[in-house]
Amino acid sequence: MNIHEHQAKQLLKKFGAIVPNGEACFTVQEVLEKAKKLNLKKYVLKAQIHAGGRGKAGGVKILDNLVDLEKAAKDLLGKKLVTHQTGPNGKEVKRLYLEEPSNIKKEFYLSCLIDRASSKIAFISSDQGGMDIEEVAKKDPSKISTIKINFSDDIKDEDCKKIVQNFNLDDDANLKCINIIKSIYKTFISTDASLIEINPLILTKENNIVCLDAKISFDDNAIFKHPELLELRDLNEEDPTEIEASKHDLAYIKLDGTIGCMVNGAGLAMATMDIIKLHGQEPANFLDVGGGASKEKVSAAFKIILSDKNVKGILINIFGGIMRCDVLAQGIVEAAKETKIDIPLVVRLAGTNSEEGKKILDESGLKIISASDLGDAAKKIVKQVK
Ligand code: GDP
Ligand code: MN
């Protein structure tokens, strides 16, 4: 789960990090009221969407007075902001963040994430932070350093020193930076985050260290431990079909192709997508129905796949381990009747009770095309949608 910049900053502040003062706003009027209260010489107005690259797309503005601020707020609210992270359709701006401006002397990059390969927490830092960090990563990776640390409740001073080394700060700023790193680490551990990214972390002309931008992603598998974080979820930022899928405990990711996939197991789902591509077509989705798919679950999965108007055919690929193929076949038949499927349906069943399953499909009276193996299934569905 991702949250907005303003929420991430409030959370980091709670754990002791330094962030600029600011207020989230949902209307132009609210922006003006809050600006009058803040009473500043200049204002920073930032579009709040779950995507980076806003600066380059015109989603971050510095305004000299209330007249310009009002204009900028009117312009941004309701706008579809297209950044290099949103995809071509962009994301509609529904909230803004009004902030006091900072005097930037230098921009750094700092992030903290789980390094699965080493089972450690990795801090990534660079003195070339800001809006071109992707370019730096590509062209001059030596400017980016990674420090891996062992899981524990606190981060050691010696690790903090290694992380800030390439920032080349004076003693005063160095200490401030180490304190921020400790706050970030505490936030990371306490909230079961999977990523905290501060880009830029800045050195101000007043020699302070401030988190000027913040992105936090949480581990969905641990979110049940943090009901207060769940309240920060913004459903506007999520795909409606993915929200529906999560209600039924289905792992569904919408993609751009024409072949809908219903598979049990993430690995098998990946393999199914690969083999569709191998045969020259594109999958419309990733969908893992999980180990114990009931009729209700299969039915919900059908409805979700069919709500995608690009879908021209569905490939069901099930390996019956704990799940019995005959039970699943019964679920497919009932769900297919209920949802009145009128596009080609290719089914490949293997494993426990697969023969019984095939028999149920064959005798169902539905136009279901049976496949003997994964390659055969891919060939058949590709032929059908062509
Ligand atoms: P992103 O482009 O979506 O990552 O948005 P950021 O929050 O990182 O802002 C983009 C850029 O705007 C930063 O790298 C800064 O250079 C600039 N910026 C943001 N806030 C301020 C500010 O208070 N003062 C100044 N001078 N620049 C700012
Ligand atoms: Mn940024």
pLDDT at residue 295 above 80?
no
Measured at the CA of 11, the angle between CA 14 and CA 122, to 5 degrees, comes to: 105
- State the ligand closest to the CA atom of 47: 1
Are 242 and 270 in contact, with CB atoms under 8 Å apart?
A: no
Q: Looking at residue 212, what is its pLDDT?
A: 98
pLDDT band at 160, cuts 50/70/90? very high
Torsion angles phi and psi, residue 221, rounded to 5:
-75, -10
CA torsion sign, 173 to 177 to 179 to 180? Answer: positive
Q: What superfamily in CATH does domain 21-101 come from?
A: ATP-grasp fold, A domain (3.30.1490.20)
Q: CA 173, 176, 182, 187: dihedral to nearest 10 degrees?
A: -120
Higher pLDDT, 38 or 189: 189
Give CATH for domain 1-19+103-238.
3.30.470.20
By C-alpha distance, which of 117, 49, 121 is closest to 82? 49
Burial 329-355 (b: 16+ CB within 10 A, else e): bbbbbebbeebebeebbbbbbbbbbbe
Q: How high is the pLDDT of residue 286?
A: 96
Among candidate residues 43, 109, 185, 252, the one labeled active-site is 109
The number of angstroms, rounded, from the C-alpha of 44 to the middle of its chain's C-alpha atoms is: 26
CB 228 within 8 A of CB 1: no
* Predicted local confidence at residue 121, as pLDDT: 97
Ligand 1 atom with the shortest distance to the CA of 44: 23
- In the block, tokens 């019995």 appear at 324
Inter-axis angle of helices 28-38 and 66-76, to 10 degrees?
A: 150
**pLDDT of 296:** 83
Which amino acid type is present at position 240? P
**Residue written as token pair 């064959």:** 362
Q: Which amino acid residue places its CA nearest to atom 8 of ligand 1? A: 213
Mean pLDDT of 254-278: 95
Active site residue 244: no
From its phi and psi, is residue 351 left (phi > 0), alpha (psi between -120 and 50) or beta?
A: left
The answer on pLDDT for 291 being more than 80 is no
Strands of the chain, DSSP E: 22-25, 43-47, 60-63, 80-81, 91-92, 96-99, 104-115, 120-126, 144-149, 193-204, 209-211, 215-218, 251-254, 259-263, 285-288, 313-320, 345-351, 368-371
Domain boundaries, the chain: 1-19+103-238, 21-101, 239-385
Torsion angle in degrees (nearest 10) through CA of 238, 239, 244, 249? -70
C-alpha distances (whole Å) from 297 to each of 82, 106, 108, 215, 356 are 35, 52, 47, 33, 21
**What is the CATH class of 239-385?**
alpha beta
For residue 16, the tally of other CB atoms under 10 A from its CB is 13
Q: Reply yes or no: is the peptide bond before residue 200 cis, omega within 30 of 0.
A: yes
Pocket test for ligand 1, best of 18, 97, 107, 131 (most atoms within 8 A of CB): 131
Atom 13 of ligand 1, residue of closest alpha carbon: 130
Question: Among 125-129, 175-179, 368-372, which stretch is predicted with the lowest mean pLDDT?
Answer: 368-372
The 10s digit of each residue's pLDDT in 79-119 is 999 999 998 889 999 999 999 999 999 999 999 999 999 99
Name the pTM for this structure: 0.84
Beta strand pairing status for 313-320 and 259-263?
parallel
**CA 305: distance to chain centroid?**
20
Q: Give the model confidence (pLDDT) of 298-354 as tens digits.
A: 888 988 999 999 999 999 999 988 888 988 888 889 888 888 888 999 999 999 999
Task: Tell me if residue 197 is catalytic.
Answer: yes
- pLDDT of 321: 85
% residues pLDDT > 70 (the chain): 100
Show the ligand 1 pocket: residues with CB < 6 angstroms.
Answer: 44, 46, 52-55, 60, 62, 101-102, 104, 107, 130-131, 199-200, 212-213
- Ligand 1 centroid to Cα of residue 215, in Å, is 13
Alpha-carbon span 189 to 113, nearest angstrom = 10
3-state secondary structure of 116: coil
> CB count, 10 Å around CB of 199?
20
Question: For residue 324, what pLDDT is reported?
Answer: 86
